Amino acid sequence: MKLKTTPYLCAALVAGLLAMTACSTSSGRHPEAIGAATASAAAVGGTTSYLVTLVKKAPALVSVGDTFTYELTATAQMDVADTFIVDTLPPGATYVGSEPAAVQDGNKLTWQLNNLARGETKAIQVTVKADREGELANCATVSAIPRVCVSTMVGKAQLALQKTGPEMVPLGQNVIYTVTVLNTGSTVARNVVVTDPVPEGFSSTNGENELRFELGDLAAGASKTLPITLRADKRGRICNKALADSSNAGKAEAEACTTVVQAGVKIEKKTENAELFINRAASYEIVVSNPGDVDLTGVVVTDTAAPETVIATAEGATVNGQTATWNLDTLRAGEKKNLAVKILSKVPGSFCDTASVTCAQGLQDSAQACTVWKGVTGLLLEMVDDPDPIQVGEVSQYTVRVTNQGSTIPISELNIVATLPAELEVVPGTVSDGGVVNGQTITWPTIPTVGPKASVVRIYTAKAVKAGDARSKVAITTAVRKEPIEKTESTTVY
């Protein structure tokens, strides 16, 4: 028997579906029978392009009872859809199986390949059994429709907002915030607007209640940074919220909070020694405090004595000449510290002592307290009668002398008053220096000042009118000695 290989080629075009048939025979002496076919359609421009090529390979010779495998290979020449391969088994062959599995309907085997991309290849292995002697003519068809695809990326714009600023600022200073609006989406954000309402406790440069920034479009992944400057007008924690809006990217908001503080330093100085005698030390209390909201650093307190005085003691301080210095370093908010200094003067006068405080934050304050140091006056009051004794009808001259025995300060407002006893009477016209006689009393005009070591003399003459121990008296007062100093002179009248 003569064996031969006969190829079969069939093509069909039905309702826009492209079908092609690949046929093969298994007989003869050739080692392998190959059938090939293509599915095609008219393309734009009148050219012809193949959609899918189908190649079928099967053994050329098998024996009755043999199980053998043939292969179907489909290759897409362009993008196609709804791709089907149908293989019809000839009489004398029994279907054993395939990879991938086929949908079997009698002697018809169907594989649904669906979409194939240009150049993509699908291979099918079919196993059958030869049931009888003779030629097994086996044909397969492929069908597909053109598939044209276009891709459009659909993006989404999305706004995000960030706001940063200082955690703490002094009252009255500017607060600078940084607002950054970002488009974290994959397409352009349209008509982006950022607003920043000015919160209570802050004020804007131009007095606006709301700051507004129209940024227009913002590309995907892009950002825009805005500086926002406000003034801190109120103490406390104030939060500032910014808002971002757009026509297609939604809204976003961000908030930054700042504590507005007031730094402060105060110094007070007081003394209970408003007046002292010279060579005595006046005690001063210094109180330095932090009435503000933040700790102060680098705190230094100094106390400067007047040039006429000296620092007697200043506990905890470094004394250099007329200045005592305390290095307190840190003074916490609300904290007070008490310091003490003693100042001594060897000369009379009103002298003031000044305390000052400074700190690293640039704040400072000062306070002053004064003491009047008084000199010690040594007053000597003398009264002399001449002559003594006298007879009734005779006269005696009385000399009153007031001496300032002090060496440093004058006597102010010296007043002299003489009183005569009943045994004597003033001889008219004998009272010196404008003294005024009123009965038994002589009053001299006030002497404004008597210098150190200086004396004042007042004289009058008295006549004896009756016998006895005539005790004349003189009294003086000064601006600082309100209690009279008295002197009595005894004259014997016989």
Kindly report, residue by residue over 454-485, the tens digit of the pLDDT. Answer: 999 999 999 999 999 999 999 999 988 889 99
Domain count, the chain: 4
Has residue 410 been placed in a domain? yes
pLDDT at 370 over 90: yes
Residue 417 and residue 387 share a domain: yes
Concatenating the DSSP letter of every residue in 180-192 gives: EEEE-SSSPEEEE
Residue 235 and residue 341 share a domain: no
Has residue 1 been placed in a domain? no
Has residue 4 been placed in a domain? no
Residue 142 and residue 13 share a domain: yes
User: Which of 339, 374, 409 is at the close of a domain?
Assistant: 374
pLDDT at 24 over 80: no
Residue 279 and residue 202 share a domain: no
Has residue 26 been placed in a domain? yes
Residue 285 and residue 350 share a domain: yes
Ramachandran category for residue 31: left, alpha or beta (phi over 0 → left; psi -120 to 50 → alpha): alpha
Residue 480 and residue 392 share a domain: yes
What is the spatial distance between Cα 132 and Cα 63, in angstroms, rounded to a whole number?
A: 8
Kindly report, residue by residue over 232-248, the tens digit of the pLDDT. Answer: 999 999 999 999 999 99
Nearest C-alpha neighbor of 419 from the set 335, 487, 330: 487
What's the gap between Cα 474 and its chain centre?
Answer: 79
Higher pLDDT, residue 30 or 315? 315
Range of the domain at 86: 9-146
Has residue 2 been placed in a domain? no
What is the spatial distance between Cα 460 and Cα 209, in angstroms, rounded to a whole number?
A: 92
Has residue 3 been placed in a domain? no
- Say whether 249 sits in a helix, a strand or coil: coil
User: What does the radius of gyration of the chain's CA atoms come to, in whole angstroms?
Assistant: 64
Q: Find out whether 454 and 403 touch, Cβ atoms under 8 Å.
A: yes
For residue 84, give the CATH number of its domain.
2.60.40.1170
Residue 105 and residue 132 share a domain: yes
What is the spatial distance between Cα 202 and Cα 230, in angstroms, rounded to a whole number?
A: 6
Higher pLDDT, residue 349 or 432? 432
Kindly report, residue by residue over 162-192, the tens digit of the pLDDT. Answer: 999 999 888 999 999 999 999 999 999 999 9
For residue 274, give the CATH number of its domain.
2.60.40.10
CA atoms within 13 A on the CB side of 37: 24
Residue 364 and residue 255 share a domain: no
Confidence (pTM): 0.49
Beta strands in 290-410 (DSSP E): 296-304, 309-313, 318-320, 323-331, 336-345, 349-358, 364-374, 379-386, 395-404
What is the spatial distance between Cα 480 and Cα 413, in angstroms, rounded to a whole number?
A: 9
- What is the dihedral angle through the alpha carbons of 424, 428, 433, 437, rounded to the nearest 10 degrees? 60
pLDDT at 132: 93
Residue 126 and residue 47 share a domain: yes
Within 8 A by CB and 6+ apart from 154, the residues are none
Cα angle for residues 270, 306, 289 (degrees, 5° grid):
35
Residue 318 and residue 231 share a domain: no
Residue 391 and residue 328 share a domain: no
Has residue 351 been placed in a domain? yes
Has residue 154 been placed in a domain? no
User: Which of 347, 374, 401 is at the close of a domain?
Assistant: 374
Residue 361 and residue 233 share a domain: no
